[in-house]
Structure 1
Amino acid sequence: MGVEVHDPRWLTAVPGAELVVGLEEVGECAADGHHVTVLIDLVPRTVSSVRALAAEAVGEGARKVRVRPHGVDRVDLVYAAVELNRVAEDDAVEVQFDVTSAALLRADPAAFVRVDPLVVKQDGTVVPICAGLESYALGELGSLDDLVGAWDPEPVRDLCRVALTRALADTGPLVSWYEHLTRTAAEMRASC
């Protein structure tokens, strides 16, 4: 099961985890010798500058660029996908764009009913899949093995099933899967 941490201090508690930080932290973490993934939030105001932001992160020492969309339309998702492909080619860096194709959702829905990766937030809270699912948290990081052993992942799978149904109704070519998950989780909490 993959694990990402959002603060370098948790790397010792979870050996082999992926360090994911914001653009402002890349230089310092890279200078400390960490393999750094930069997380860039793609929002309407950053769509036109996503390529420059990614290039800046690579210049600061990021070895992977991850882009997470929030509230952008279908056209902007496609534009960002093209720009991020150029970043991957120009800068020879791994790029992860947190979208999927609607065709893949339809072809392999079971692949989206999952509970990983686990995410260790800056405060040590461990949540499944992505930030925004705090109501499904495993708890505070002490022993990751103990947390996973005591955790019932079925509510997360149920959330994934509901979000998948909603995502399949999305008619665009690209779907922001994590955004569907977090929006569905918030709506399910509100209806309780």
Structure 2
Amino acid sequence: MGVEVCDPRWLTAVPGAELVVALDEVAVHAAEGHRVTVLIDLVPDNVAMLRGLATEAVGEGARKVRVRPHGVDRVDLVYAAVELGRVAEDDAVEVQFDVTSAALLRADPSAFVRADPLVVLEDGTVVPICAGLAEYALGRLGSLDELLEEWDPEPVRDLCRVALTRALADTGPLVSWYEHLTRTAAEMRGGC
């Protein structure tokens, strides 16, 4: 099971975890010798700047570029996918674009009903899949093994099933899966 941490102090508690930071933090953590993944929030206002932001992150020492869309329309998702393909090729860097194809959702829906990776937030709270799912938190990091022993991932899988149904109704070629998850979680929480 993959684990992402948002603060380097948790790297010792979770050996092998991926350090995911914002663009303005890349240089500091890369200089400390960490393998850094930059997380770029893609919003309508920065779609045209995406390639430049990714190139800047690589220049600062990021070994991986991850892009998480928020409120971006279908055309901009396709544009971003093309630009990230160019970044991966030009900069020889690993790229993770937090979208999936609608065709893959339909072809293998069970692949999206899961409770991983785990994300360790800055305060040590461990959540499944992505930030924004705090109500599904395993708890605060002390011992990851103990948290996993006590955790029931089934509510997260239930959330995934509801989000999957909604995502399948999306008619675009690309689907922002994590955005569907967090939006669905917020709507389910608001409906209580």
| TM, length-normalised to structure 1 | 1.00
Q: Which amino acid aligns with 2:91?
A: D
Partner of residue 161, structure 1: 161
Tell me the secondary structure at the aligned position of residue 126 of structure 2. strand
State the 4+ residue runs in structure 1 displaced beyond 6 angstroms: none
State the shift of 1:100 in Å: 0.1
- Alignment deviations for residues 9-42 of structure 1 (CA, whole Å, 9 cap, x no partner): 0000000000100001000000000000000000
* 2:96 alignment counterpart: 96
The gaps in structure 1 that reach 5 residues or longer are none
User: 2:66 aligns to what SS in structure 1?
Assistant: strand
**CA shift for structure 1 position 2:** 0.5
Counterpart of 1:87, as a letter, is: V
Unaligned runs of 5+ in 2: none
Cross-structure match for 2:134: 134
TM-fit CA distance, 1:181? 0.1
1:8 Cα deviation after fit? 0.4
CA distance in 1, matches of 2:24, 2:148: 31
CA distance, structure 1, for counterparts of residue 111 and residue 133 of structure 2: 19
Q: Report the TM-score, using the length of structure 2 for normalisation.
A: 1.00
Q: Please state whether the residue corresponding to 2:4 is helix, strand or coil.
A: strand
Q: Percent sequence identity over matched residues?
A: 85
Offset, 1:140 = 0.4
Aligned residues: 192
1:52-99 per-position Cα deviation (integer Å, ceiling 9, x unaligned): 000000000000000000000000000000000000000000000000
Distance 1:68 1:105 in 2: 18
Match of 1:3 in 2: 3
Please report how far the alpha carbon of residue 133 of structure 1 lies from its aligned counterpart in structure 2 after TM superposition: 0.3
Amino acid at match of 1:191: G
Superposition deviation, residue 154 in structure 1: 0.4
> Could you tell me how far apart the structure 1 residues matched to 2:137 and 2:102 are?
28
Name the counterpart of 2:175: 175
RMSD: 0.3
Tell me what 1:28 maps to: 28
| Paired AA for residue 159 in structure 2 | L
How far residue 149 of structure 1 moved from its aligned partner, in angstroms, is 0.5
Aligned to 2:105: 105
Question: In the alignment, what sits opposite 2:39?
Answer: 39
